Structure 1
Amino acid sequence: MQYKSIAVIVDIVGSRNAPDRVGAQRAVREAFDRADAARPVLAPLWSTAGDEFQAVYGSLADALRSTLIARLVMPDGLDFRVGLGSGEVREIERTSAGHPIQDGSAWWAARDAIEEAHRRENSGSPFVRSWYAAADESADFVATVDSYLLLRDHLVSAMTGRARRLAAGALEGRAQLDLAESEDITQSAVSQSLQRSGAAALLAAQQLMEERGAR
């Protein structure tokens, strides 16, 4: 079976030096479980080898939203890198545990994307965590998505733990009063945090990406 989709490859930043690698892997899975709760996902995140994970989404909009929420809800001190690839996914077979073994241009693009994110991170842009590549989109569209990801990564990397939690809650559609109660702060403080941290602009950019061609 072959179909067009968004392949996602995730790896844990600095996993070799993590004091609790099992806990870090669990945190990534839990972050994506939360991110995917309200949106359809073709193949939920599964572990492949070492500290690498894979997932498949039916649209770029879903992949962008889920990877953003997942990164925002990661515990302090833990982070991941992600490559998103658009193209064809072909399922070859399934493992005894039910995980798919897949191939196709989307996976090749996702591999290129995560390697590019890693290269940029090591070449003077330490905030870079995400990249997008496509075998079936125009160069202009790919550049637009990657420009969004660069700005997204910069904003998220600069956020405090509370700012990330508030941004995640807002992205999930929670009311500011609800977020204020969960953080034991005022609604005004939530609004100010969303503005100061850049979360409000980030949410607007995400919405625009979803409305204008990232479907």
Structure 2
Amino acid sequence: MRVAVIVDLVDSRRIADRAAVQHLLERAFATVNRAVGHVEPFAATLGDEFQAVFASVTDALEATLLARLAMPEGLDCRFGLGRGEIRAVGTGLTGVLQDGSAWWAARAAIDEAHRRADGQTVTLRSWYRGDGETSFTDAAINAYLLGRDYIVGGMSDRERRLALGSWLGRSQSVLAEQEQISQSAVSQSLRRAGVTALRAGIGEFREAATQSGVPC
């Protein structure tokens, strides 16, 4: 079982210089690819879409969180996460063609994220579908995503940069120098933005997977 992730840009039709944006997006996803283990890294496919494959739901959750934090200013993206089987079905212009329940679930998940964001849950950018009937685990993951996206959606551009830098292991003094603010301001910003809660959420998933012995 693998976790497929489909990514698309929010309001991509409004972007004037699509080529320049694509370059910035590739740099952002390269940062995520270096930070989180993957089966297949984030890579552009067609139009405004990127895809990746992860060994566990937890890795996919961390990678999609970092991807949102790494987005260039003024841009946002949407994620569909699907767990299931992935199989090669041939080759095409972009390499191996894949199919399977993980991709079907990821496509259904990103459609659901779009539908919910267009409704009352305007801050939602991510959704998860497991392989089969909806379970309590599926609901728990999506409850986390609802809270996570609300927190990230309320961050300023600076807070996202600080959150990403902190997650990648940069010290507060380094972040302060980069942003030309005091170290105290960095600490306050990270606390106010909810970075500790985001990190704790991922930690809970990893601990549960370790204790159960089942990749999650």
TM-score by length of 1: 0.91
Q: Give the aligned partner of residue 183 of structure 1.
A: 179
Q: Deviations over 1:172-208 (max 9, x none)?
A: 1222222222212222211111111112211221222
* Alignment partner of 1:95 is 2:87: no
Q: Give the aligned partner of residue 39 of structure 2.
A: 42
Matched position secondary structure for 1:131: strand
Q: Give the aligned partner of residue 84 of structure 1.
A: 81
CA distance in 2: counterparts of 1:15 and 1:111, whole angstroms: 18
Q: Give the C-alpha shift of residue 136 in structure 1.
A: 5.4
Q: How does 1:34-183 map to 2 (within 5 A)?
A: 34-97=31-94, 99-135=95-131, 139-183=135-179
Q: One-letter code of the match for 1:114?
A: I
CA contact (8 A) 1:31 1:71 kept: no
Unpaired stretches in structure 1, ≥5 consecutive residues: none
Q: Give the aligned partner of residue 207 of structure 2.
A: 211
Q: Give the C-alpha shift of residue 96 in structure 1.
A: 4.4
CA contact (8 A) 2:36 2:62 kept: no
CA distance in 2: counterparts of 1:24 and 1:130, whole angstroms: 21
CA distance in 1: counterparts of 2:165 and 2:4, whole angstroms: 25
CA distance in 2: counterparts of 1:81 and 1:141, whole angstroms: 21
Runs (4 or more) in structure 1 with deviation over 6 Å come to: none
Matched position secondary structure for 2:16: coil
CA distance in 2: counterparts of 1:19 and 1:13, whole angstroms: 14
CA distance in 2: counterparts of 1:184 and 1:64, whole angstroms: 31
Matched position secondary structure for 1:142: helix
CA distance in 1: counterparts of 2:133 and 2:188, whole angstroms: 38
CA distance in 2: counterparts of 1:18 and 1:176, whole angstroms: 34
CA contact (8 A) 1:28 1:70 kept: no
Deviates most, 137-146 or 105-114: 137-146
CA contact (8 A) 1:113 1:133 kept: yes
Over aligned residue pairs, what C-alpha RMSD do you find? Answer: 1.7
CA distance in 1: counterparts of 2:169 and 2:200, whole angstroms: 13
* Alignment partner of 1:194 is 2:190: yes
CA contact (8 A) 1:127 1:154 kept: yes
Q: One-letter code of the match for 2:41?
A: P
TM-score by length of 2: 0.91
Q: One-letter code of the match for 2:90?
A: E
Q: Give the aligned partner of residue 212 of structure 2.
A: none
Q: Give the C-alpha shift of residue 156 in structure 1.
A: 0.7
CA distance in 1: counterparts of 2:59 and 2:133, whole angstroms: 17
